[in-house]
Chains A and B, each alone.
Chain A
Amino acid sequence: MCATCGCSEAAHHDHEHGHQHGHGHQHGHGQAHEHDHVPRRVRLERDVLEKNDRAAERNRGSFAARRLLALNLVSAPGAGKTTLLERTVRESGLPVCVIEGDQATSRDADRIRAAAARALQINTGAGCHLDAGMIERALPALEPAPGSLLVIENVGNLVCPALFDLGEHAKVLLASVAEGDDKPLKYPHMFRAASLLLLNKVDLLPHVSFDVARFAAAAREVNPRLSVFQLSATRGDGLSAWYGWLRARSGQLSAPSRAAAGADLR
């Protein structure tokens, strides 16, 4: 007998069942009832990530309304995202505010606030990435000043954040020479999704066997359009190029042909 509808299988079941039958109960056989028990096909054609993508679209509208340059900063854990942001807050000359994503603690947001920028911490708990809904909910609390740079520091993870559009203008990927120079080939989705690749910790190059040319070639193999900057967020090498990139992109948003500049950024 069927646990779902209570009918007797022998009475009218002449089709394959897609569900399990429970037999731990008894009910009368032969009871007369009529209902349609044939599976009905329902065409859906729905994107699984449509809810995220709709929130990302609303975020794009919020960023545009406040002329924010929104960047999604992604990396493996420990590549130096927060250190880079601390210096960027102090030295870039741009008004910066930061949404920090970590599984736990508010340490990163505390560091950004200590560098004198507005920061909001999102703890994802077991979650391995930020999604667009989290950013949408964070924006009213953060209240970024019009015309500022909004950096969304994603959870340190080179896999999942590649899949979730937050509505950002660009994904900036930070890698470091303390990692393997074959990383672009091992995590191709993220290197493909990024618009700018920053290679950090170049001050350590004399001490590690990291081949910069091999790394850059692998990155361009995966994403031929990727720009690559080398820098050291602790020693300061290459930071002026990064600040220049930020100012140029930020300037495009406040230029008269804002729509064209936005299109160029995507």
Chain B
Amino acid sequence: MHELGIAMRVIDLAVESSAGARVSRIVLEVGKLATVLPDALRFCFAAAAEGTAAEGAQLDIVEVPGMARCRECGGSVELSRPFGRCSCGNSDLEWLSGDELRIREMEVV
């Protein structure tokens, strides 16, 4: 549900930084563990960009994998959902990556 608000923030940030130029492409990093659905975001993006300097821009979503460190043994754990278990059996994990929601770069013309 919040993807529309996220899409609008992405567009605002890009347009603010484009110095009046048209934004033709935005590269967005979305962590696999972020509470954001890429498909919903794409859907909202096209609608939210209408009438802005980013209208018609291409949205490239780069998915960042979820990685965590075990707080018990220090081992690294790959996460595909926002919880998991280390091979040592511990589920108290420190997230290292996967909750990103960041504009990496854009292209302007």
Contacts and interface: CB of A to CB of B under 8 A. Distances in A.
A44 B48 CA distance: 20
A73 B108 CA distance: 42
A224 B71 CA distance: 11
Contact of A160 (B24, B35, B58, B83): B35
B109 interface: yes
A19 B24 contact: yes
Contacts of A129: 2
A160 B109 contact: no
A159 B24 contact: no
A237 B104 CA distance: 51
Interface in A4-61: 4, 17-20, 37-49, 51
- In this complex, the interface size class of chain A, counting residues with CB under 8 Å from chain B, is 35 or more
Contacts of A48: 6, 9-10, 13, 28, 101-103
B56 interface: yes
B24 A222 contact: no
Contacts of B57: 18-19
B87 interface: no
A38 B22 CA distance: 12
Q: Which of B17, B21, B56 has the most CB of A within 10 A?
A: B56
A94 B28 CA distance: 45
A47 B6 CA distance: 11
A20 B56 contact: yes
A249 interface: no
Contact of B13 (A39, A43, A46, A192): A46
Given A39-B25, A43-B104, A163-B2, 14 more contacts: A4-B109, A19-B56, A39-B108, A46-B102, A47-B101, A47-B102, A48-B10, A160-B35, A163-B36, A192-B83, A221-B83, A223-B83, A224-B92, A225-B92
Interface of B: 1-2, 5-6, 9-10, 13-14, 17-18, 21-22, 24-25, 28, 34-36, 56-58, 81-83, 90-92, 101-109
8 contacts: A17-B24, A40-B107, A42-B17, A44-B14, A45-B105, A51-B9, A159-B2, A163-B36
